[in-house]
Structure 1
């Protein structure tokens, strides 16, 4: 346990850096002065100023160590104590107002130990603040304890001189056994975390990740905690080893310990009542409110933790929300939604645009012989109400899971699928392409929704929100292969295409292998419909890319130049919501291993370059996909080929628009939905008129534009 020691009173506020760690020729303030590079001319207090201070019930062990500027107003300092070197910036006879708070500039009823205070600060009832650099126009009201250790790390996974290795902070992600641990650092992105948690067998690569993280920092002791300009902190308890940006608003927190809080006037962060945040990093523009508990975590920019959420040993990507529930040992890519009190997520890699329903229990069954395994889910993962999943499981993009207990490991290879339990016949049922067939409105709205929610001011990475992209299209090809294999085996036929291309309704049941680790059957529903749907979507994807990125003037020459580069459908990897061709990703990691890339800043610069290349990579991928799905030689892509393709794409776009309307209109024509309203007029007042739906109306205008563009290409 800790113990209390006695030190002479005149040493309080001094010896912040232990003598053993103080460089030769340096005093204990050298790092403080580097952190707070001020061009102000500080001076000692005059005898008259000391007299006024003491008359106002202020005291200091040594007034010679209280330094001020020529704009010092001693009358605005009352009932306060000063220890060690304290520097006070300019003062004015004004008060600071923030919302409904109005406080005079100055220091009142506070105890200041070896701090730098900026211009026009208002410190009221700060019972203990030690070794802090406080910015300009900062309000601190009714704060209990603010302290700094000489070996403060501010949430970064580093060591300071003399620290034991066991004190290093790791984030134990994706797995409860710590086998995918990473070192957190300020500025860490989902892509960084993802790459580090993968390829654990590559010891050389893992060492490079470790090394470039350590290189970002030094092991020197003596950095002060910081509070940025115009930050407001009120009615809070404990702050220890914190770095807080400008314009933050912090109220009623229980504890902030070993954290960095990024904040600017354009992207200010707010932290509210009852929160306890320990060993973490918070990005720009975040909101953390109402009893949140977070330990060993990174919260990326423009994300929210609310209403008692628990985030432990986890990374949450940009533009995400977690409230009420518990998330452990998980790596979550951007645009994640989880806001129900009884959902639980553990030991998972969730690749973005995801939504966890109430009662969903993803992971941690505690029925294995060791630590639980992992769950990996592609973009758009949606486990429905009261879904319970077993480790290890893997899900393709946009998998929707129906309420139920899934007692066996799952490997769902079909994108846009519905997965359910047929309890009556004790079998798993999969409907590939379900979203397109039955809920087009929700599916297509996702793209617009996530784009509008992406509040990043500096978009250093291209986050892919489109439902048809290289990752989902590649999964479509996998799904087509799985359908053909299942048909061939279930019907014992060598040519499944003959059956799949037959439009006659059939009663045969098609079963899948290797979708569930159990002896029960897995039924594949609507294999014919999903097979033809998938092929149509690939063709539509190609046309959309061509229309967006190819100039219709000189169309043939433009397409030929793309074909001449060679068409080969390449695998893409979802790296923190940025899709990267696997070949380029391999080059990136090899360059890191060979030290051609030698810092995280250089890695981030490469992400930006890969983002710039992505549009062309995606276009090339779409043409390769078109070649493969049509089984044609690109050299034979003549006018007739393209005209048929454009006509089909127009029909597909019309079908999508119609299905968006139809899937939403069901809610207006369902008598059981109508029965809670006195009349149709009341329903329209409550939920809005169908014809006023902004998303549906947007689709109509998009279709007109699509139709016009098709004409340009066909001409």
Structure 2
């Protein structure tokens, strides 16, 4: 049966902190007094003020426990019940207006228990308001329950004094069996979540992460909830143990429990109608509305949940949007888009700049005796309409998956590929470098779009949006060798003949740089699918050429950027500014920020040995590495180039550099032409045009091709490159 305790009415509003956990010499208000930074000087009520309050149908268990500022107006408090220590700031005879709601300042028709109020607040029809510190010019209207408990953790996965480990809140990301679970905390960045979920075998590191998180917060009981200045909360049922930053807007929510909702004047957060959020962290500038249900979650800044979305045991990165659908046990990096009601994502690590199409089902992970499957997808992951994937699967950067049910595990190592399920011929078909051949417009525009849509006001991590970056280019370098090896095997009918991988790659390199007419029908790939059927690689010579051109383009563009930044006027000066021994190395996508393996290992060592003594110190390292990233990326690009040219820095001279410049210009011209061509197809295809009566109607609906701002921008960049190279040649 329900446990109903009987207490004296005089006990209401007192004993907030269990006496067993009250520090010696402290009263139950000691933390509250520290939290209240309003600067308001409170005093006791005068006899006249008490008389007015009583006349206005207010009651209090002890009028001496009501404290007010010198500019308090008792006429603006009506029909309220007060219990415990209540402190009220300035109340003036004016009204606050927010959107279309206008309400006079004051406290009306509410039950208020042990709370502090700033200046000129509006409180009306709050049926139960307890243990909150409320800022200035706050509107609280029509709320059933708004209170804080003594053990409130505000969404952080910490323990308060005397609590058992069993009550700690974890996020079970990437895997449904909790093998990669992490502890949420306010300020958790995508990189933090990835490090914690990834390096599971390092027990010392896991212990340090847990320790850093617990040390980030005070374990004392008795913290009050806070509602920041200019917040508006209206028509909401239950708010319990919620910490709310300034300028937040909550309307019509069903239930908000154990949360931190960060908000600020330049990054306002909003929670709308029908939402239920429990055990989570909401970042700055987030929007949650229309029936969302989220439990055990972190939303990084400027992310959105809307239209009935379900987010459970998941981390959602910055500038990401999830609508309508269901996402479980996933770690999602920044710039993720998922808008369709019938898409599903479960047990996945999605590394950002991703898009889940309608009907995509990334969640069929119960293909063994345990729920231990995972999907790992690099940046730019795009499963198309009605794609169903089987766990475990792994995908290189910018993989596009065509419609189909993929019944076997996949390991797609070739970046920028199109993956198709050829059911008629019972084979998997992979087209490497697809984006550059057929949809350059989307690839380039997305990179531009993500930068433009990055609304973060507090950029702790440098997020890479360029499709040519250390992570994707390392995959390109591997893909070149893979295509060479598979080409040699194709010519040998699949028999390596005892040759090593290096020997096969050399043989394939010769073939791919010679007559490739025998490769037009495609070649066989190995290790891409856990199935007995064949995997066919198509457009191999084209992809091989594109991959190699991308290496040169990536490197030279980085060198030109250095030349322009530093105003270098000769090749000798340029070479002197470059590292003597550039190393390509292994790189990680650490929550959207790219870091070399050396950097990551140094970060881990610093956490374990105590050099990085807090999460704040870890985040400072992220920022420092972000400042160094351009230099590191440039060194990586140079290392890729030298590896492809098979020379060292001694062999990298002015003649070699100048010989690459025309190729870079041709590549840029080809890219810009591909961007225009990909978009022009939408204007030329008769099946696209048939819904319009005239070209004028089409141009009015979708815009003139010649007025496309992105294409114009790309042409400007091409002209700038031409001018830059002309000056160098001169």
Q: Scaled by the length of structure 2, what TM-score is found?
A: 0.96
Q: How far, CA to CA, are the matches of 1:560 and 1:490 in structure 2?
A: 41
2:540 aligned residue = 527
Deviation at 1:504, TM superposition (A): 4.5
Question: Does the alignment pair 1:39 with 2:78?
Answer: no
Structure 1, unaligned runs of 5 or more: none
Q: How far, CA to CA, are the matches of 2:342 and 2:483 in structure 1?
A: 36
Do the aligned residues in 2 keep the contact of 1:646 with 1:714 (CA within 8 Å)?
A: no
Q: How far, CA to CA, are the matches of 1:41 and 1:640 in structure 2?
A: 76
- Any residues of structure 2 matched to 1:81-120 within 5 Å, and which? 81-120=81-120
Q: How far, CA to CA, are the matches of 1:27 and 1:351 in structure 2?
A: 49
SS in 2 for 1:152: coil
Deviation at 1:562, TM superposition (A): 4.8
Question: Does the alignment pair 1:653 with 2:668?
Answer: yes
1:270 aligned residue = 270
SS in 2 for 1:123: strand
1:498 aligned residue = 510
1:410 aligned residue = 410
1:664 aligned residue = 679
Q: How far, CA to CA, are the matches of 1:673 and 1:2 in structure 2?
A: 64
Return the match for 1:598 from 613, 632, 651: 613
Q: How far, CA to CA, are the matches of 1:404 and 1:671 in structure 2?
A: 26
- Any residues of structure 2 matched to 1:391-406 within 5 Å, and which? 391-406=391-406
Do the aligned residues in 1 keep the contact of 2:488 with 2:511 (CA within 8 Å)?
A: no
Return the match for 1:627 from 637, 642, 652: 642
Listed one character per residue, the Cα deviations across residues 568-605 of structure 1 (whole Å, up to 9, x for unaligned) are 21211110111111111111111111111111000011
2:298 aligned residue = 298
Do the aligned residues in 2 keep the contact of 1:490 with 1:509 (CA within 8 Å)?
A: no
Structure 2, unaligned runs of 5 or more: 497-503
Q: How far, CA to CA, are the matches of 1:621 and 1:642 in structure 2?
A: 17
- Any residues of structure 2 matched to 1:158-557 within 5 Å, and which? 158-492=158-492, 494=504, 495-506=507-518, 507=520, 509-550=522-563, 551=566, 553-557=568-572
Deviation at 1:417, TM superposition (A): 0.2
1:59 aligned residue = 59
Listed one character per residue, the Cα deviations across residues 187-206 of structure 1 (whole Å, up to 9, x for unaligned) are 00000000011111111111
Q: How far, CA to CA, are the matches of 1:71 and 1:626 in structure 2?
A: 72
Q: Scaled by the length of structure 1, what TM-score is found?
A: 0.98
SS in 1 for 2:517: coil
Q: What is the total number of aligned residue pairs between the two structures?
A: 715
SS in 2 for 1:7: coil
Listed one character per residue, the Cα deviations across residues 110-139 of structure 1 (whole Å, up to 9, x for unaligned) are 110000011000101111100000000000
- State which drifts further: 375-384 or 59-68: 59-68
Do the aligned residues in 1 keep the contact of 2:330 with 2:349 (CA within 8 Å)?
A: yes
1:695 aligned residue = 710
- Any residues of structure 2 matched to 1:543-622 within 5 Å, and which? 543-550=556-563, 551=566, 553-562=568-577, 565-622=580-637
1:643 aligned residue = 658
Q: How far, CA to CA, are the matches of 1:410 and 1:529 in structure 2?
A: 23
Evaluate the alpha carbon distance shift between residue 587 and residue 504 of structure 1 in structure 2; reply closer, same or farther with a 3 A threshold: closer
- State which drifts further: 635-644 or 598-607: 635-644
RMSD: 1.2
Deviation at 1:48, TM superposition (A): 1.8
Q: How far, CA to CA, are the matches of 2:416 and 2:376 in structure 1?
A: 16
Q: How far, CA to CA, are the matches of 1:119 and 1:152 in structure 2?
A: 25
1:686 aligned residue = 701
Deviation at 1:563, TM superposition (A): 5.1
Q: How far, CA to CA, are the matches of 1:163 and 1:373 in structure 2?
A: 33
SS in 1 for 2:97: strand
Deviation at 1:181, TM superposition (A): 0.7
Evaluate the alpha carbon distance shift between residue 709 and residue 7 of structure 1 in structure 2; reply closer, same or farther with a 3 A threshold: same
Deviation at 1:456, TM superposition (A): 1.2
Q: How far, CA to CA, are the matches of 1:477 and 1:148 in structure 2?
A: 55
SS in 2 for 1:169: coil
Deviation at 1:406, TM superposition (A): 0.4
Q: How far, CA to CA, are the matches of 1:120 and 1:407 in structure 2?
A: 62
Deviation at 1:564, TM superposition (A): 5.2
Listed one character per residue, the Cα deviations across residues 51-87 of structure 1 (whole Å, up to 9, x for unaligned) are 2111111111111111111111111111110000000
